Structure 1
Amino acid sequence: MPAGMMIPAIQMPAMMGGSGTAAGFGSSGLTLGQANVNMINGQLHPLEMTQSTSEGEIARIREEEFESRSGSENQEGGSGDDHEEPNANPRAKRKRYHRHTQHQIQEMEAFFKECPHPDDKQRKELSRELGLEPLQVKFWFQNKRTQMKTQHERHENTQLRQENEKLRAENMRYREALSNTSCPNCGGPTAIGEMSFDEHHLRLENARLREEIDRISAIAAKYVGKPVTNYPLLSPPVTPRPLDLAFGTFGGQPGIAGEIYGAGDLLRSISAPTEADKPMIIELAVAAMEELTRMAQMGEPLWLPPIDGATVTMLNEEEYMRSFPRGIGPKPAGFKCEASRETVVVIMNHINLVEILMDVNQWSTVFSGIVSRAMTMEVLSTGVAGNYNGALQVMTAEFQVPSPLVPTRESYFARYCKQHVDGTWAVVDVSLDNLRPSPLARCRRRPSGCLIQEMPNGYSKVIWVEHVEVDDRGVHNIYKPLVNSGLAFGAKRWVATLDRQCERLASAMATTVPTNDVTNIVITNQEGRKSMMKLAERMVISFSAGVSGSTTHTWTTLSGSGADDVRVMTRKSVDDPGRPPGIVLSAATSFWLPVPPKRVFDFLRDENSRSEWDILSNGGVIQEMAHIANGLETGNCVSLLRVNSANSSQSNMLILQESSTDPTGSFVIYAPVDIVAMNVVLGGGDPDYVALLPSGFAILPDGPTRTGGGSEACTGGSLLTVAFQILVDSIPTAKLSLGSVATVNNLIACTVDRIKAAVAGENP
């Protein structure tokens, strides 16, 4: 089209909703700018452009096109006073339009580059300079902005289309490459869509297991004949620190209280292992497993036979250092070695034993008399093949003796489980305190644990090795012979506890009531029997938590309680269904008796002699309402006692009691129970909501057992711990009075005097 040719007026079709002029856009509800855009995109009037057409010419032609379509005020004729005949031919009166000059377009183009959105003042100034109406200038800028936007969108669309084509081609290349490859681990196709989900999951699991086997094999190969000295696991000797006194003295021995109650911060300060620690932990666990296996099976000269009639074998430390040079380092200064080994056959399947040892909750429950608290910090491996073979976890634990005169032993260690080729299972612990050096560390575990061998008829043979290095200077003098003999924390106590607890679990799972059970029709069904034993188990755990020198529980030690040889603690019980609400006092003391432990145990567990020491029974007659045997020993049982007191207010009081004994110690633990709640338990109800405050006795030998002229072992005397938990106020927010503390002190002192008088014949 020539540059100077006039564009004829466009006749709007009927679908635009108007007469073919600008009025049609108004009736459709669109703005003028929208109408122009629609017409351009709809190509109602395409323009033929040549390559020689200049930019200014294109703008001028489009401007003329917009003006001709909009029917703007550039008309030269046809004022508002003109009237058309109703039947007049619309073609008879054609409208004339004004076309912008080249100068006007160039000036507005230049202004548009500087300011695409002029305001009213700028439009009026521009219209005066160019000889145009302000509305003409407004429409020109409006159309120009629409034109630029359209051109920009077309350019963007072109670029996006090109990028899309590139991505599509690249995607096709990747698909073709993947279809021709295979997985290097499993050998199958790499595209998930070409196999089922189950098959894909199995291939991934197979590859993971292959990697784990390769890693364990590499670690084991690295440790064959190679020491661990390449890793910074050896800690410098611990410098002994002075003992700080917490309050008073304990049993006339200065410094004991400070050592007991100043500890406890070690476990609170330990954090989970870092990523840098994990390779060292794995290699240390593998080396510990090898050491434990050899120590459990070796004889002399590593293990020396008992001497002087003792029943505990001794470790030859010089031979140990020669046989196992790549341990966790030399013994720290001020520490002493405690090592022992024992073998026992227990009534439990070997798989169940492994599960108990690897589950921290079951482990701390079964060994509640030894483990006051335990926690798993991190699980590094859960094992393979659906069991604990290869399981490795980092743990913390606190080990105790049931007496406030023996400090607890805190340990940070790794526990590793492995099934050997002969089917024997092994579980080993090894200290990680070298990863977290602390001046609070008072004990570290060299490779310790057990080998478990399957036996016929559901039995298992267990070889237990316990090997620790400890600073035991906080132990009271009367307990030092027991601790030094290994009976307090050694392998003999672990296997004796395990054997007794296995018998208890077997009794709890029995489907028939043993013939030596006496129920007097109190327990009407098997569920009631199980509920009563479960309640007794919780009572024993609660007693153990409050009798030792542990500082990890919710007790608060009272300073200046008025008695040097009685440890008194307090606790506020709130919203705990297992304890009555209010302020609870726990008082415990330990003393020596010049009589064998068995005599003391038989006296305390016998309901017929209870009135001789139990002040709370108020001299009433004790009747055994139910008796559940939970072991081969006669004294291992759970009993329900009724106190028939002359005082009518106590005539219906019931006492739940559990007594247990083994070669390393005995317990008699009891708690008053509500008769209504107990009836629910006896009927098979949930025992977790029965409130208990247990009290009782822990009876230990005063030293190593020795064989006399006969077949029975003899010992010089007993170490008796007496502990009470008493509710002194039912309001948890109440203040503790000194009178309550004095009352508890008097109660425990009176009980001790009565026991001494009855058992040892001492006058109070």
Structure 2
Amino acid sequence: MEYGIGGGASGGSGGDHHDDSDPHRRKKRYHRHTAYQIQKLEAIFKDSPHPDEKQRLQLSRELGLAPRQIKFWFQNRRTQMKAQHERADNGALRAENDRIRCENIAIREALKNVICPTCGGPPVSEDSYFDEQKLQMENAQLKEELDRVSSIAAKYLGRPVSQLPPVQPIQISSLDLSMATFGAQAMMGGHHSLDLDLDLLHLPVSSTSTTPQNLPFQAINISEMDKSLMADVAGNAMEEFIRLLQNNDGLWIKSSSDGKDVLNLDTYERLFPRANNKNPNVRIEASRDSGVVIMNGLALVEMFMDSNKWVELFPTIISKARTLEVISSGVLGGQSGSLQLMYEEVQVLSPLVATRQFYVLRLCQQIEQGSWAIVNVSYDHLPQIQETSLSSSSHSLQDRCHKLPSGCFIQDMPNGYSKVTWVEHVEIQDKTPTHRLFKDLIHSGLAFGAERWLASLQRMCERFACLMVTGNSTRDLGGVIPSSDGKRSMMKLAQRMINNFCGSINPSNGHQWTSLSGLNEVEVRASLHKSTDPGQPSGVVLSAATTIWVPVSPQNVFNFFRDERTRPQWDVLFNGNAVQEVAHIANGSHPGNCISVLRAFNTSQNNMLILQESCIDSSGSLVVYCPVDLPAINIAMSGEDPSYIPLLPSGFTIMPDGQCDMAVRSRDGGGASTSDSKQSRSTSSAGSLITVVFQILVSSLPTAKMNPESVTTVNNLIGTTVHQIKAALNCTTSL
């Protein structure tokens, strides 16, 4: 399939360098053809859909158009003609399929009334034989499934299932009902004291919870008809996405307050009418942003089409992703034309904001040499997906999220970089009230919008670039200067720490947050889970978190947390002892993007160090740290594999509160898209949202449960930390 962007898709340096000598392209970026020009082009197209260069030059002189415009008009026209033929063929095939199905039904009905001429009875049908074989196969599968479940149950119950007493009917009283909805009330912000019945005895090591997080990863059977329908949906989404990029129809307008692109809903609904556009309960989030990324386009495409690398590229945004089915492979071993059905969860790094869950079709299409478009569109029409949504009680607590054609357009640049234009367009039907602390951030589009995706991509690509740069750290550790392999090993260890930290904020596998009654009116939320991964301490881990608002800019809060000189003011674990940075690795252009190894003075644990990574972009920042013993750090510094070094990180996330100073935004010039201007906009916020996260190893025994001492410890730890943070930042006001 061919699409003609014609250099007007995103208007950046990535698409203009080839034709700087063309005066028409330099003077006028967009061009709407006249009726005479279209009539002339259509007449030529009927006779010659693929004009050669001589014919294009002649048309250029006759119509007053640039040769490049002539070329892309014919490309677009051929694409439209191909799509029309494909739709017509698909319609004919569907009609033929329906006709054959009707004939089959009619023949079966007629066979029911056929009389055998020999015996006068109904003829022997082969259907009964095959039906019997089918039932026998199903019975064998069910018996195998029953044996498997019985063995698992016997393992955790201590006796065979056959010896269990019969199940008695449960009478649900009002008290029972309130206890059953305890988890739901906790997620919606209810205040409860943690009961001491958070028992993990009956949780298997690999959770089998029937939540939406697990069910989508089971096998999904997709028929050829479903695949054909998916291809049509994805193709239409790509056409809509291309129009959103070009903006020839006035779909985007500039905001008068901050200069951002805002979707013109009236124009959009006129061009792409949908039935649910009139639903008053549906909220639209639409945003577009563009910028330069330090990675070539083909490498970005490969990472975007790999669900594992997709999570690795966006650890602060994607909490989980999985490719459920490859509908079609790329052309000639490449990614162009590749279509996948994917599941993903999008998060904000706070337990107060529920994740957004999407089943999406992801289509990659190479537009021209050095240019790719990747579109995502929600697809939840499969019976397995609908049954998952209906059967899961926790899914009813999630906001209904439907992704309209969204994605990114990637253009290679001469210096090996790429220009990326990102579009996010989502329909949200809020089922639960948005938490008051995050209402402005979410409704402004900063929480899930294109700016956050692009800023995170730019920062992570800088990190990958630093990973490939050879060089030593600026400070040594015990006289050992890390080699290039040692630097790469340390960066991988820190990245695993970041991934673990982000995963603990919105826990998967069905683990839900439970509200504790914290100190100083601080609402603390806790979650228990078993840790069995090689890179984590083995046992039961308690994750606890809270989010507070402070009237301090995100940049100043970030500087406060990452500065080792101010660490004694908030780190209660070191009792106010000073720390010193003994190793430093830069992983980005911003001085705050770095990995540090810290050593505390005047402590009894001289062999214990702190591994810390701090990172910042326009959407927010992180400061994550973890105690690591000296031998483990030396292993990483020497370049050995750090995969088995146990990590249990804690730290902070800092986000703008969404109430940005409009005067400062207007001063940016309306449409600034560089990282510097974005940084100035984000740090001009009226305040910051700080999420404090601690992870504690409750017990090395896998059968341990929460106890009163653990509740008291985590309450005191978070409550004291929050109090010291507010005192150090001179914050007497709270929300």
TM over 0.5: yes
Distance 1:428 1:385, change over 3 A: same
Q: Aligned with 2:572: secondary structure?
A: coil
Q: Per chain length, whose mean CA-contact separation is higher, i.e. which structure has more relative contact order (CA < 8 Å, sep 6+)? A: 2
Cα drift, residue 562 of structure 1: 6.0
Distance 1:546 1:299, change over 3 A: farther
CA–CA separation in structure 1 for the residues paired with 2:235 and 2:188: 45
Distance 1:247 1:480, change over 3 A: same
Cα drift, residue 459 of structure 1: 0.4
Does the 8 Å CA contact 1:601/1:699 hold for their aligned counterparts?
A: yes
Distance 1:422 1:676, change over 3 A: closer
Instruction: Output the amino acid matched with 1:298.
Output: N
Does the 8 Å CA contact 2:191/2:516 hold for their aligned counterparts?
A: no
CA–CA separation in structure 2 for the residues paired with 1:685 and 1:220: 57
Distance 1:519 1:333, change over 3 A: farther
Does the 8 Å CA contact 1:390/1:416 hold for their aligned counterparts?
A: yes
Cα drift, residue 585 of structure 1: 0.7
> 1:304: which partner in 2?
253
Instruction: Output the amino acid matched with 1:737.
Output: N
Instruction: Output the amino acid matched with 2:211.
Output: D
Cα drift, residue 511 of structure 1: 2.4
| Corresponding position: 1:449 with 2:395 | no
> 2:505: which partner in 1?
547
| Corresponding position: 1:469 with 2:420 | no
> 2:531: which partner in 1?
573
CA–CA separation in structure 2 for the residues paired with 1:221 and 1:363: 35
| Corresponding position: 1:726 with 2:681 | no
> 1:640: which partner in 2?
597
> 2:495: which partner in 1?
537
> 1:274: which partner in 2?
222
Cα drift, residue 589 of structure 1: 0.6
Does the 8 Å CA contact 2:371/2:409 hold for their aligned counterparts?
A: yes
> 1:589: which partner in 2?
546
CA–CA separation in structure 2 for the residues paired with 1:536 and 1:434: 40
| Corresponding position: 1:417 with 2:364 | yes
Cα drift, residue 519 of structure 1: 3.8
Q: How does 1:166-205 map to 2 (within 5 A)?
A: none
> 2:466: which partner in 1?
507
CA–CA separation in structure 1 for the residues paired with 2:531 and 2:645: 14
CA–CA separation in structure 2 for the residues paired with 1:355 and 1:331: 38
Q: TM-score, normalised by structure 2?
A: 0.67
Q: Aligned with 2:333: secondary structure?
A: coil
Distance 1:763 1:346, change over 3 A: closer
CA–CA separation in structure 2 for the residues paired with 1:745 and 1:267: 29
> 2:170: which partner in 1?
none
Distance 1:465 1:278, change over 3 A: same
Q: Aligned with 1:687: secondary structure?
A: coil
> 2:304: which partner in 1?
357
Q: Aligned with 1:760: secondary structure?
A: coil
CA–CA separation in structure 2 for the residues paired with 1:299 and 1:669: 44
> 1:497: which partner in 2?
456
Cα drift, residue 603 of structure 1: 0.1
Does the 8 Å CA contact 1:547/1:723 hold for their aligned counterparts?
A: yes
Q: Aligned with 1:634: secondary structure?
A: coil
Q: How does 1:239-250 map to 2 (within 5 A)?
A: 246=183
| Corresponding position: 1:376 with 2:323 | yes
Distance 1:403 1:415, change over 3 A: same
Does the 8 Å CA contact 1:592/1:718 hold for their aligned counterparts?
A: yes
> 1:426: which partner in 2?
373
Cα drift, residue 335 of structure 1: 2.1
Per-residue deviation, residues 493-519 of structure 1 (Å, max 9, x unmatched) = 0000000001000000112348xx444
> 2:719: which partner in 1?
749
CA–CA separation in structure 1 for the residues paired with 2:546 and 2:371: 43
> 2:571: which partner in 1?
614
Does the 8 Å CA contact 2:240/2:405 hold for their aligned counterparts?
A: yes
For 1:624, which of 573, 581, 597 is the aligned residue?
581
> 2:646: which partner in 1?
691
Q: Aligned with 1:746: secondary structure?
A: helix
Does the 8 Å CA contact 1:310/1:705 hold for their aligned counterparts?
A: no
CA–CA separation in structure 2 for the residues paired with 1:622 and 1:545: 28
For 2:211, which of 254, 265, 271 is the aligned residue?
265
Distance 1:447 1:577, change over 3 A: same
Does the 8 Å CA contact 2:472/2:483 hold for their aligned counterparts?
A: no
Q: How does 1:662-677 map to 2 (within 5 A)?
A: 662-677=617-632
Q: Can you give the 5+ residue segments of structure 2 that lack an aligned partner in the other structure?
A: 1-77, 96-179, 195-208, 391-395, 669-679
Q: Aligned with 1:246: secondary structure?
A: helix
Q: Can you give the 5+ residue segments of structure 1 that lack an aligned partner in the other structure?
A: 1-213, 232-242, 258-262
CA–CA separation in structure 2 for the residues paired with 1:560 and 1:601: 27
Cα drift, residue 571 of structure 1: 1.4
CA–CA separation in structure 2 for the residues paired with 1:328 and 1:351: 37
Distance 1:386 1:541, change over 3 A: same
RMSD: 3.2
Does the 8 Å CA contact 2:661/2:686 hold for their aligned counterparts?
A: no
CA–CA separation in structure 1 for the residues paired with 2:356 and 2:433: 11
CA–CA separation in structure 1 for the residues paired with 2:267 and 2:501: 41
Does the 8 Å CA contact 1:561/1:741 hold for their aligned counterparts?
A: no
Distance 1:593 1:300, change over 3 A: farther
Q: Aligned with 1:689: secondary structure?
A: coil
